Amino acid sequence: MRENDMLEKEEIFSKVLRAGRRTYFFDVRATKADDYYITITESKKFTEEDGSFHFKKHKIYLYKEDFAAFSEMLQDLTTYVLNHKGEEVISERHQKDFKKEYHTEKVALEEPVPNLSSFTDISFDDI
């Protein structure tokens, strides 16, 4: 068995964040020397044309000596993004706008609805 496989067997504490097609796994693991480190794994689902699917995973190993700098940089980056772009997810707004435009355009291309007053009012009793 490879050393990496042995390192990842000792899972101590975990959190999962599901975000659409992506899932983030935050795991505290133990080394053979019983020291702790963190793994952050992004798993993204891809669906093939035939309906089958697979996952692509990306993993980051974060060791205690890097926690403070990592945390500080992550805080700086998230603050920067929120200050410059706000909390609204632009891609979601774009999707909504696209759907509205597509729906409006699609309706405009269809034939007009006939005037309903030109139809005769018939009840089932008349048939």
- In this prediction, residue 60 carries a pLDDT of 96
Q: Tell me the C-alpha to C-alpha distance, in Å, between residue 114 and each of 103, 105, 109, 121, 123.
A: 20, 19, 15, 15, 20
Does residue 8 contact residue 39 with C-beta atoms inside 8 Å? yes
The token duo for 64 is 């205690």
Class of the 3-110 domain? alpha beta
pTM for the model: 0.59
Number of Cβ atoms within 10 Å of the Cβ of 37: 18
Does residue 8 contact residue 25 with C-beta atoms inside 8 Å? no
- In this prediction, residue 11 carries a pLDDT of 76
- In this prediction, residue 68 carries a pLDDT of 97
The domains of the chain are located at: 3-110
- In this prediction, residue 1 carries a pLDDT of 47
- DSSP H helices, the chain, are 3-7, 67-85, 90-109
Mean pLDDT by 10 residues, the chain (127 residues): 55 92 94 92 91 92 96 97 89 60 52 53 55
